[in-house]
Amino acid sequence: MDATITFTVNGQPRTVTTDPQRRLLDVLREDLQLTGTKYGCGDGYCGACTVLIDGKRERACHLPVTAADKRDILTIEGLCQGDKLHPVQEAFMAENAFQCGYCTPGMIMSTVALLKEKPNPSEAQIREWMNGHLCRCCGYPKILNAVRRAAQARR
């Protein structure tokens, strides 16, 4: 029996009628064609699927789509204001904080959530917050630089 999910995605009201057991990640990618949110492991170990729900970061890979009902979803595609990059995106560009770039949307979304929660994070807080994210290119040093730069830009 399909369920009807009504939610806001990147500021747009959306309605999806689908199997309630489908993962939010699959609905974003397959139904809404928002492919910026990535599948990395399906188990919540890598953070590639990170989105913000009501401003808090969530793993879209193991959330059923029903968990997004009546909520406000922000994906990587919703971060720009027109052509203007979000400061966190700017920071990742400035630090060349990507190699293959597949983990990048999740890293950026998590950084956005971090700076909402802790506008002035310590080095230890940055590492702890980001530790649930994997980058297999192991570009961690430049990603850390980008997070620091983004935090600095807010000050």
Binding status of residue 111 toward another protein by CB under 8 A: no
Instruction: Write down how long the chain is.
Output: 155
The least CB distance from residue 119 to another protein, in Å, is 20
Q: Say if CB 135 and CB 103 are below 8 A apart.
A: yes
The site for another protein, by CB under 8 A, has a size of 57
CA distance 61 to 66: 13
C-alpha 1/C-alpha 139 separation (Å) is: 44
Position 21 contacts another protein (CB under 8 A): yes
**CB 84 to another protein: min, Å:** 11
The site string for another protein over 47-86 (x = CB under 8 A, - otherwise) reads -x--------------------------xxx-xx----x-
Shorter beta-carbon distance to another protein: residue 22 or 57: 22
Residue found under tokens 């949110």: 37
For 96-107, the DSSP string reads T--SS-SSHHHH
Yes or no: say if 101 and 38 are a contact pair by the CB < 8 Å rule: no
Which range in 1-9, 19-27, 52-60, 112-120 contacts another protein by CB under 8 A?
Answer: 19-27
CB 68 within 8 A of CB 53: yes
Among 3, 8, 18, 125, binds another protein (CB under 8 A): 18
For 14, the enclosing helix (H) or strand (E) is strand 12-18
> Which residues here bind another protein, judged by CB under 8 A?
18-19, 21-23, 26, 29-30, 33-43, 45-46, 48, 75-77, 79-80, 85, 89, 92-93, 96, 98-105, 108, 127-128, 130-131, 133-144
